[in-house]
């Protein structure tokens, strides 16, 4: 499998971190993805970075790579693992990030005992 473009980015722990991540992801992969594909990727990236910012600790690292088959995005912080999501009422604001990732990503997961969350978007499965 041929490796395509890759992105490694240390994000500041500031409210603009999700915006910075979206812009850098778009700058790195925007020319290789259809507009709808890029929108999905930036939305999911924003959700994971926001979670790292709100619930994580220490530095935030964004890793992303693209090949012919998939886009892989990983967000890592220095927390101690993910807590199970709390039940949310339909009218609550916030708290639905991982549900969005679950509904839009081809696959997603975590590395046990860490705050290393990833998602994949299969290029053939991405909407055009």
CB atoms within 10 A of CB 125: 12
Can you read off the two tokens belonging to residue 10? Answer: 């240390």
In the prediction, which pLDDT does 1 show?
43
The beta-carbon contacts of 105-109 under 8 Å, at least 24 apart in sequence, are 105/44, 106/70
In the prediction, which pLDDT does 5 show?
77
Q: Which residue has the higher pLDDT, 9 or 126?
A: 9
In the prediction, which pLDDT does 117 show?
93
Q: What are 70's strand-pairing partners?
A: 122
pLDDT of 56 higher than 80:
yes
Task: Name, in order, each residue with C-beta under 8 angstroms of 16's C-beta and a sequence gap of 6 or more.
Answer: none
In whole angstroms, what is the distance from residue 49 CA to residue 76 CA?
A: 9
In percent, the amount of the chain with pLDDT more than 70 equals 80
CB atoms within 10 A of CB 115: 23
Q: Where are the beta strands (DSSP E) in 1-128?
A: 3-11, 60-67, 70-76, 107-110, 116-122
CATH code matching the domain that covers 3-122, chosen among 3.40.50.920, 3.40.140.10, 1.20.120.1760, 3.30.565.10: 3.30.565.10
Q: How confident is the model at residue 92 (pLDDT cuts 50, 70, 90)?
A: very low
pLDDT of 89 higher than 70:
no
pLDDT of 55 higher than 70:
yes
Contact status, residue 1 vs residue 69, Cβ threshold 8 Å: yes
Q: pTM to 2 decimals? A: 0.82
For 16-38, what is each residue's pLDDT tens digit?
A: 999 999 999 999 999 999 898 99
For 2-13, what is each residue's pLDDT tens digit?
A: 567 799 999 999
In whole angstroms, what is the distance from residue 119 CA to residue 117 CA?
A: 7
Q: What are 121's strand-pairing partners?
A: 71
């Amino acid at each position: 499998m041929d490796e395509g473009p890759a992105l490694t980015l240390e994000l500041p722990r500031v409210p603009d971190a999700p915006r910075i991540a979206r812009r850098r992801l778009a700058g790195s992969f925007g020319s290789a993805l259809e507009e709808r594909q890029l929108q999905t990727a930036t939305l999911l990236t924003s959700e994971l970075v926001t979670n790292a910012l709100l619930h994580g600790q220490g530095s935030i690292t964004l890793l992303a790579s693209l090949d012919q088959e998939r886009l892989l995005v990983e967000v890592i912080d220095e927390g101690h693992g993910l807590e199970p999501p709390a039940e949310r009422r339909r009218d609550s604001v916030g708290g639905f990030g991982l549900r969005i990732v679950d509904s839009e990503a081809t696959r997603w997961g975590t590395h046990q005992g860490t705050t290393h969350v990833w998602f994949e978007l299969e290029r053939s499965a991405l909407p055009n």
